[in-house]
């Protein structure tokens, strides 16, 4: 049985390996609707992350992947970008002890080359500190884009071919998956997008090929564990065939 795909008829939730990915959208809108700066919405959104991570074991999620900052988000104001980067660092430092106690393993995916080296060092530190944890796998996508990830994977594969370490005829889907940022994770079973937007925004373009999608009008700062439970219940009623006939 492939780690990335459940066996026919198998429920990932029952095998304790349900992978839910979330496009966390609506922080800025939530704040603006209340007349507050956008960063207030991002801080409130970080509180929701904490609540959802703690609820994961209860709702049956072992792998939670969150889209926090895309390769396109650099277009936002300097104030907002710097505020978000500071928020990422504060969240990790504040939650490190809790993650250790509660068995949360944290990973950061995305291109770190454009990030401040100090922030990169914090990412390296939290990944090392939580490497032995296995209760919940929290992955946060920062400076991440699905196309960029595939481009980077393609470059790495091309280098191996150039150096004679890889035969082009032997390149398979598994080869590509092994060179992605998510190589240590199963593919997502469910991708949730908040705030009413109906697009995938370049998130897990390769990995989510057979994922189910759920879209909700709820803005991320209002997205509670109870709302996730509601979505998971609806997801549990779907029949997944992975391209096979009914």
Domain coordinates of the chain in residue numbers?
A: 18-145+187-236
For residue 25, give both structure tokens.
């959208």
- Tell me yes or no: is domain 18-145+187-236 CATH 3.40.1180.10: yes
Which residue stretches of the chain are H helix?
27-33, 38-59, 78-101, 117-129, 146-162, 173-178, 225-236
Q: What is the DSSP string of 125-166?
A: HHHHHTTT--SEEEEEEEEE-HHHHHHHHHHHHHHHHHTTSS
Per-residue confidence (pLDDT) for residue 194, from 0 to 100:
98
Residue 22: beta bridge partners?
66, 192
By mean pLDDT, which of 12-16, 135-139, 147-151, 222-226 is the weakest? 12-16
Q: Quick one: DSSP state of residue 5?
A: S
For residue 212, give both structure tokens.
């189910």
CA 81 to chain CA centroid, Å, is 19
Whether the per-residue pLDDT at 212 is higher than 80: the answer is yes
Closest CA to 62 of 6, 9, 8: 6
94 has binding-site annotation: no
Whether the per-residue pLDDT at 145 is higher than 90: the answer is yes
Q: What does the pLDDT look like over 28-79, one tens digit per residue?
A: 999 999 999 999 999 999 999 999 999 999 999 999 999 999 999 999 999 9
How far is it, in rounded angstroms, from Cα 28 to Cα 39? Answer: 7
| Contact between 51 and 95 (Cβ < 8 Å) | no
Closest CA to 185 of 3, 7, 10: 3
For residue 42, give both structure tokens.
């991002």
How far is it, in rounded angstroms, from Cα 84 to Cα 92? Answer: 12
2 has binding-site annotation: no
Model's pTM, two decimal places? 0.92
Residue 64: beta bridge partners?
20, 138
Active-site residues, by number, are 25, 73
Residue 191: beta bridge partners?
21, 213
Per-residue confidence (pLDDT) for residue 5, from 0 to 100:
45
Q: Quick one: DSSP state of residue 67?
A: E
For residue 121, give both structure tokens.
């060092």
Stated as kind and residue range, the H or E segment containing 213 is strand 212-215
44 in helix, strand or coil?
Answer: helix
137 has binding-site annotation: no
152 has binding-site annotation: no
How far is it, in rounded angstroms, from Cα 150 to Cα 152? Answer: 5
Tell me the pLDDT of the chain averaged across its residues: 93
> What band does 17 get if pLDDT is binned at 50, 70 and 90?
confident
Overall size of the chain counted in residues:
246
Per-residue confidence (pLDDT) for residue 1, from 0 to 100:
25
The residue among 15 and 113 whose pLDDT is bigger is: 113
| Contact between 111 and 70 (Cβ < 8 Å) | no
């Amino acid at each position: 049985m492939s780690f990335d795909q459940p066996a026919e008829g198998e429920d990932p939730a029952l095998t304790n390996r349900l992978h839910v990915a979330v496009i966390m959208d609506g922080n800025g809108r939530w704040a603006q609707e209340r007349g507050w700066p956008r960063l207030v919405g991002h801080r409130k959104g970080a509180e929701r992350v904490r609540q959802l991570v703690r609820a994961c074991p209860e709702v049956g999620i072992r792998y939670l992947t969150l889209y926090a900052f895309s390769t396109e988000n650099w277009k936002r104001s300097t104030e907002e970008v710097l505020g978000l980067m500071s928020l990422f660092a504060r969240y990790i430092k504040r939650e490190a002890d809790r993650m250790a106690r509660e068995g949360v393993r944290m990973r950061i995916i995305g291109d770190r080359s454009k990030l401040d080296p100090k922030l990169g060092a914090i990412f390296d530190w939290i990944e090392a500190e939580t490497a032995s944890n296995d209760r919940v796998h929290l992955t946060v996508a920062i400076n991440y884009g699905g196309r960029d990830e595939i481009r980077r994977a393609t470059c790495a594969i091309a280098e191996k071919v150039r150096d004679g370490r890889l035969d082009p005829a032997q390149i398979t889907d598994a080869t590509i998956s092994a060179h992605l940022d998510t190589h240590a994770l199963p593919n997502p079973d469910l991708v949730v997008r908040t705030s009413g937007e109906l697009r995938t925004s370049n998130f897990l373009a390769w990995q989510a090929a057979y994922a189910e999608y759920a879209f909700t009008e709820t803005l991320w700062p209002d997205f509670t564990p109870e709302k996730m439970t509601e979505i998971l219940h609806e997801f549990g009623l779907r029949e997944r065939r992975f391209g096979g006939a009914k």
